Each structure stands twice: as structure tokens, then as C-alpha cells.
């Protein structure tokens, strides 16, 4: 059956590749939507069921920023539980046995997140992690539901310790102290075992099992170049599940017997097994597979390990599954490239599926939006590069359109099939978008993933240029009107493309991109300490002889070569890519006499969370592209 599915996927892929030039015969002008209409779409996510499973704690951005809501399953109506107007509040979980709930928030995107407790019936809020200059995140509830586990760097900014807070006093007690970059990745129900991971390189890490009773540390990983990630413990403390890429291109799921030390493969695929979870009473387990830029989610009877079918949802991809404590209800997150994700509840006993949210703005006809396609093209060295492609419905060989290469963040990120307001806005207004998963992207095997190590702005950037060449070959694309767009690492690629290959792209859109690798690598946040050496291994150590190469590949030191229009967006509170990165590249390009625009958001960090700022970004981007990139009529 798996072989049949694989052949079917290959056949579909070949059809897509062959038909890209043929669809121009079926073109039509879609209704065009304003960015305000698209941002009336709702971004919704779920946090947890309440105690009697009649309500769900969710978050959405109806008000322009994220707040917490309670959704009633019976009538699907939502009640606002927070009303923040300045900072986004993110739903975390209900307090067990209570109507109170947890949410998380930072200040202006500074990433120092705190956990807060609030009741559904009043306005009183309690900061459970009131520790200055610290970042705290919810891990899980204890087995008896009377305590909460939290990862926090309150003791030492460089490392995250595992803390336990009882729900009566909320007094923190340290469960595991991290002094050497061994991060807690899982804790057994009895608290006896803690799974610990340590980054070695971005391609390799260590996995240990720490016995808090005997103080014994067991190494699960080996010396091979592989990743190891803990997933779950069974209640009886005899089994731990983890994923690894040991002796394999792709990660697979392993069942590890703690008592005997025996490890056996439980599930493998031709793609990365990205995640596994166990339901409360271990009746079910779910497995998530990163299948060619899309989620594949599988449900199993845990005892028999036999698959259980999901209900069919037309034109929908299941992106996530949350199983209720009773194990009778499944909360499904379902999305597609033409609709923001929606929530569904499925009753296992009654076999009933119910849609809980409708996130697409009613003013928008889904048929006017473009379905993403997976395509592949040959790069400079013959390597096949995967990409996610959006072809405008109005694109025609007699009325050619402009195009953009879109570069994801990272390094090591991945563009995936899914919904994006900003991409759909550009495509709706006549811009083809090719989201390139250049070498170094995750999801395509560990050999592909490490191909850009200490080779950034070379092979990975050439992949983007050959993606541009692929676009230029489509008979409905104006080959002289192709630009490049990206954020963070992708923003660096934009700047690098304009600086190192100044005649390839007609314009660039940079969102908080790295301009000076030396400064960025020397100023990474303190709490990245666990992965700092791994990042240096991939990018280069800025305090070593690698600094010469890092300077050479930094767009800031090559700004004189930039001769094409550029627009730059930046959050003033960004702690990952400092504002000075954007300020200096903008100042440099201005010296060249090149059109350059600069937009700074004083209330954002690394990435823009507020709808108002997202709208401004999309609107200014379209205005910029219409002026500098669109074909001359």
C-alpha cells in the first residue's frame, strides 16, 4: 500500500510539473481583494478541553492581536476571556479541575514570556513566573494534576531549568538544574525519569535518560551523526519513545525499554517522523509525518499499534490532533493553502464530526485563492530542489505576470503547504510566488539539510537564482520582472542576492534580515546558549578565523554592489536580528542612490504579531512591487 501511495504521489508530481505551462489556457481574472479583507480572516488555534469537555480554550486574533477565548462546543459561540489591546496573550491550558486558565505573554516582542493565571469569571490576573529578565514556558501538568512543570531561565539566563509549581501556593521547586546545556525534553509521570538533550551541531545532538532516584545518567544516543528527540513516556516508567535519524536519512520513531535498554523501531516512513504523542490513558497515540512540505497525521490504537481512520474532511489537511482526557473526543486542526486553519471536534463513540470555527472572511470566495503546489527544479549542480508554488489565476502567456522567489527563515527552516494571508494577497494581485526550499532546508533528509553548512550565501543562494530561472521559463512569467522576498535568514538571502548577484533580481523585500553575520552571531540571546556552539558549527565561529568568511558573506560589507530597489521591514524590539542590522544596510544602500524604503514597527520583535502591522507590511510591499517590479505595460 505504501509503495502504491508513493507511486501515486510521484505520478501527481509529474503531472504538476508538466502542466505548469499548460494551465495558462484556463486562466481567468479572479475577484481581487484588499489586504484588509484578507486580514479579516481569523487565525485560530486550540489550547485544551475543559474538565467536562463541553468547552475549548482557544486563541485568535479577532481584535487585531491575539487574545484568549472560550469556545462552547454545543453552539460554537466564543466568549472573550482576555481583552488585551497592546500585547498578544496566548492561550496555554485550563487549570485542572477549575475554570481558571493559563496564558502566556511577553512585552513588545522581547521574547521574555511569562505565564499568567486568570479566572473565566473575573479580571484578576496572577503572574506565576514574575521573574525579571527571564523566559518561562509551560511544559505539562503532573500526573496528579496538582502541579505544573515549567521551563525557565530565571536562575541563569543562559540555561533553562525544569521547575515544578504546585497549584496551591505556586511556589517553584527545581526538578532539574541545567548547568551544561543538557535541556529537559521530557519527564515521566512519576518524575523518576527525565529525558535530556544536548546540541552538538545542527545535524547532531545527544539524548540521555536521567534517573532522579539513582542519579544515574544513561546515554541513549551514540557517536553517529544523527538527531535524537524524546517524545513520550508510558505511565509505568518502563517505556520511552523518541525519534532519531541514526543510520537513516529521515527520522523514525523508536520504542525504548528503560529496564532492558532495548530499542526497537516502531514507525518509519519515507519522510521525517516529526512527532509522536500519547493520549491521557494511553488508549491512542498519534504520529506526525513531515511529508513533502505537508503534515500527515496518523492515529493508532496504542495497545495493538493498529491504525484508526480519521473522518474525511473535504479539501482539508489535518494539521494537528488533541485527544481529550476521557479519550472520547478528538480536537482536530484542519487547514489548506486556500483557507486559514479551522477547528473540528470528532466524537469517537458517535463517529460524529463537527466544525467549530469558520475562519475565512465571508467576503472572500475561496475559488479566487490559489492552491499551493509542490514543484521541483534542477539547480546549478543538477540537484533537485523542492519548492511550494503559487500561480496566479490570471497568469497568461499573452498577459505575463511578475514573480517572486520567497525564502523561508532559518537557517534550516522549511516552506510548507499552508495558508498565508501575505502570499495569497500578492498572488491575488498578479504575482507568482515560488517558495524555495533551498539546500539546508529541513524535511528532505539529513544530507540535504547539512549541505549549506559553512557554505551560506553560496549553494543555498544559487538555488534561489535557479528557482528564478525556472520561473523565467514559464511562458506566463515576465522574465524581466522577478524579485526576491524573505524574512530573517530569508531576509539575509534577499540582501545577499542583491549584493552578490546584482543583476539577477529586479527588486528585493527584506523582513528583519541579517546584514552582518559577525554581529548577529556575537549578539545572539543569552538563552540560546545550549545551541550556540551548534549554530557556530553550521555558520562559523565569529571569534575564530571563520570571521573572514562571515564578513565576506555579510551583505553589509558588500552594500556598494546593490543597485536594485529594496524595501526593509524591522521590529524595534527584535532580539535575534538587532534593528541596527536593518538601519545600517538601509543607510548603505541609500549611498548608492538606489531606491530604498524602511519601515520600523516600535511594538514588534522578531516577526510581526499585530494585524495592523501585518497589513502595513503587505500593503507597503504591494505598493513597492507595483512600482518597481511589475511588467511595463
* pLDDT (0 to 100) of residue 117: 98
Task: Say which residue, 314 or 359, is predicted with more confidence.
Answer: 359
Predicted local distance difference test score (pLDDT) of residue 632: 67
Distance CA 22, CA 25 (A): 6
Q: Is the pLDDT of residue 159 over 50?
A: yes
How confident is the model over 331-352, as a mean pLDDT? 95
**Mean pLDDT, range 547-555, rounded to an integer:** 97
Q: Which residues of 35-46 are buried (b: 16+ CB within 10 A; e: fewer)?
A: bebbbbbbbbbb
**Mean model confidence pLDDT for the chain:** 94
What is the CA angle 421-426-428, rounded to 5?
90
pLDDT band at 633 (very low <50, low <70, confident <90, very high): low
How far out from the chain centre does Cα 269 lie? 21
CB 517 within 8 A of CB 546: no
| 123 compared with 77, residue with greater pLDDT | 77
pLDDT of residue 384 exceeding 50:
yes
**Banded model confidence at residue 312, pLDDT cuts 50, 70, 90:** confident
Per-residue confidence (pLDDT) for residue 26, from 0 to 100: 74
Give CA–CA dist 84/629, Å, rounded: 39
Residue 359 has a pLDDT of 97
Q: What is the number of other CB atoms lying within 10 angstroms of the CB of residue 169?
A: 7
> Would you give the DSSP letter of residue 549?
H
- pLDDT above 70 as % of the chain: 96
Q: What's the pLDDT band for 631 if we cut at 50, 70, 90? A: confident
Mean pLDDT of 344-368: 96
Chain center to CA of 171? 33
- Percentage of the chain lying above the pLDDT 90 cut: 91
CB-based burial label for 247 (10 Å; 0-12, 13-18, 19+): exposed
- Rounded Cα distance between 443 and 385, Å, is 12
Cis peptide before 254 (omega within 30 of 0): no
pLDDT, mean of residues 150-170: 96
The continuous run of DSSP H or E covering 425 comes out as helix 421-428
Grid cell of 406 as nine digits: 520567497
Asked whether residue 356 carries a pLDDT value surpassing 90, the answer given is yes
- The distance in angstroms from the start CA to the end CA of the chain is 52
pLDDT of res. 23: 46
**Cell reading at 295:** 503534515
Sequence-separated (6 or more) residues with CB below 8 Å from residue 383: 439, 463
3-state secondary structure of 438: coil
pLDDT in tens, 75-109: 999 999 999 999 999 999 999 999 999 999 999 99
pTM over 0.95: no
Q: What is the pLDDT of residue 5?
A: 33
Spatial strand order in the sheet of 44-49: 44-49, 55-60, 67-72, 78-80
Q: What is the mean pLDDT of residues 39-54?
A: 96
Taking the C-alpha atoms of residue 134 and residue 118, their distance in angstroms, rounded to an integer, is 21
∠ CA 583-456-205, rounded to 5°: 110
Composition of the chain by helix, strand, coil, percent to 5:
20, 35, 45
Which of the two residues, 180 and 256, has the higher pLDDT score? 256
pLDDT one-digit tens code per residue, 50-80: 999 999 999 999 999 999 999 999 999 999 9
Could you give the 3-state DSSP secondary structure of residue 535?
helix
Q: Is the pLDDT of residue 363 over 70?
A: yes
For residue 67, the Cα-to-chain-centroid distance in whole angstroms is: 20
In DSSP notation, 167-230 reads TTT--EEEEE--SSS-EEEEE-TTS-EEEEEEEEETTEEEEEEEETTTTEEEE---SSS--EEE
Per-residue confidence (pLDDT) for residue 12, from 0 to 100: 36
pLDDT at 315: 79
User: From the CB of residue 526, how many other CB atoms can be counted at a distance below 10 Å?
Assistant: 14
C-alpha cell at 32: 481581487
Location of C-alpha cell 532546508: 441
What pLDDT score does 1 carry? 34
- The mean pLDDT of 131-146, rounded to a whole number, is 96
Amino acid at each position: 500500500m505504501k509503495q502504491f501511495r508513493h507511486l501515486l504521489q510521484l505520478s501527481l508530481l509529474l503531472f504538476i510539473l508538466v502542466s505548469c505551462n499548460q494551465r495558462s489556457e484556463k486562466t481567468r481574472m479572479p475577484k481581487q481583494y484588499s489586504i484588509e479583507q484578507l486580514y479579516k480572516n481569523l487565525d485560530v488555534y486550540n489550547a485544551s478541553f475543559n474538565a467536562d469537555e463541553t468547552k475549548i480554550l482557544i486563541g485568535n486574533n479577532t481584535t487585531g492581536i491575539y487574545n484568549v477565548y472560550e469556545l462552547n462546543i454545543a453552539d460554537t459561540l466564543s466568549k472573550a476571556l482576555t481583552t488585551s489591546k497592546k500585547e498578544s496573550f496566548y492561550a496555554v491550558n485550563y487549570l485542572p479541575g477549575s475554570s481558571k486558565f493559563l496564558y502566556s505573554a511577553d512585552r513588545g516582542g522581547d521574547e521574555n514570556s511569562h505565564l499568567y493565571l486568570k479566572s473565566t469569571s473575573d479580571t484578576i490576573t496572577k503572574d506565576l513566573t514574575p521573574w525579571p529578565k527571564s523566559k518561562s514556558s509551560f511544559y505539562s501538568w503532573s500526573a496528579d494534576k496538582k502541579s505544573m512543570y515549567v521551563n525557565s531561565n530565571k536562575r541563569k539566563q543562559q540555561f533553562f531549568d525544569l521547575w515544578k509549581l504546585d497549584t496551591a501556593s505556586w511556589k517553584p521547586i527545581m526538578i532539574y538544574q541545567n548547568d551544561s546545556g543538557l535541556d529537559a525534553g521530557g519527564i515521566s509521570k512519576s518524575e523518576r525519569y527525565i529525558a535530556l538533550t544536548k546540541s552538538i551541531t545542527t545535524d547532531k545532538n545527544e539524548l540521555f535518560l536521567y534517573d532522579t532516584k539513582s542519579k544515574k545518567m544513561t546515554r541513549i544516543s551514540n557517536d553517529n551523526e544523527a538527531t535524537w528527540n524524546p517524545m513520550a513516556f508510558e505511565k509505568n516508567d518502563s517505556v520511552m519513545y523518541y525519534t532519531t535519524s541514526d543510520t537513516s536519512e529521515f527520522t523514525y520513531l523508536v520504542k525504548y525499554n528503560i529496564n532492558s535498554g532495548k530499542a526497537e523501531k516502531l514507525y518509519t516512513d519515507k519522510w521525517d517522523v516529526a512527532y509522536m504523542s500519547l493520549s491521557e490513558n494511553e488508549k491512542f497515540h498519534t504520529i506526525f509525518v513531515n511529508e513533502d512540505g505537508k503534515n500527515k497525521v496518523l492515529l493508532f490504537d496504542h495497545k495493538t499499534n493498529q491504525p484508526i481512520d480519521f473522518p474525511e474532511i473535504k479539501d482539508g489537511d489535518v494539521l494537528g490532533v488533541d485527544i481529550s482526557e476521557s479519550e472520547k473526543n478528538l480536537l482536530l486542526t484542519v487547514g489548506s493553502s486556500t483557507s486559514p486553519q479551522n477547528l473540528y471536534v470528532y466524537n469517537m463513540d458517535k463517529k460524529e464530526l463537527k466544525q467549530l470555527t469558520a475562519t475565512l472572511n465571508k467576503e472572500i470566495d475561496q475559488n479566487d485563492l490559489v492552491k499551493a503546489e509542490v514543484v521541483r527544479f534542477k539547480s546549478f549542480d543538477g540537484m533537485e530542489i523542492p519548492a511550494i508554488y503559487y500561480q496566479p489565476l490570471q497568469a497568461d502567456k499573452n498577459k505575463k505576470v511578475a514573480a517572486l522567489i520567497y525564502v523561508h527563515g532559518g537557517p534550516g527552516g522549511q516552506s510548507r503547504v499552508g495558508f498565508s494571508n501575505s502570499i495569497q494577497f500578492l498572488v491575488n494581485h498578479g504575482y507568482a510566488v515560488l517558495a524555495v526550499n533551498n539546500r539546508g532546508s529541513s524535511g528532505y533528509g539529513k544530507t540535504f539539510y547539512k549541505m549549506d553548512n559553512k557554505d551560506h550565501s553560496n549553494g543555498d543562494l544559487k538555488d534561489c537564482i535557479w528557482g528564478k530561472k525556472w520561473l523565467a521559463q514559464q511562458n506566463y512569467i515576465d522574465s524581466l520582472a522577478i524579485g526576491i522576498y524573505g524574512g530573517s535568514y530569508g531576509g539575509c538571502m534577499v540582501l545577499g542576492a542583491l549584493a552578490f548577484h546584482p543583476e539577477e533580481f529586479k527588486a528585493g523585500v527584506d523582513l528583519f534580515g541579517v546584514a552582518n553575520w559577525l554581529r548577529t552571531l556575537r549578539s545572539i540571546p543569552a538563552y540560546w546558549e545550549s545551541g550556540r556552539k551548534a549554530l557556530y558549527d553550521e555558520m562559523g565561529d565569529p571569534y575564530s578565523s571563520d570571521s573572514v568568511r562571515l564578513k565576506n558573506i555579510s551583505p553589509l560589507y558588500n552594500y556598494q554592489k546593490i543597485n536594485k530597489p529594496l524595501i526593509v521591514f524591522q521590529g524595534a524590539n527584535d532580539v535575534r536580528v538587532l534593528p541596527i542590522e536593518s538601519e545600517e544596510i538601509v543607510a548603505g544602500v541609500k549611498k548608492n542612490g538606489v531606491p530604498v524604503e524602511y519601515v520600523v514597527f516600535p511594538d514588534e520583535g522578531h516577526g510581526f504579531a499585530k494585524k495592523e502591522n501585518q497589513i502595513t507590511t503587505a500593503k507597503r510591499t504591494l505598493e513597492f512591487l507595483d512600482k518597481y517590479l511589475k511588467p511595463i505595460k
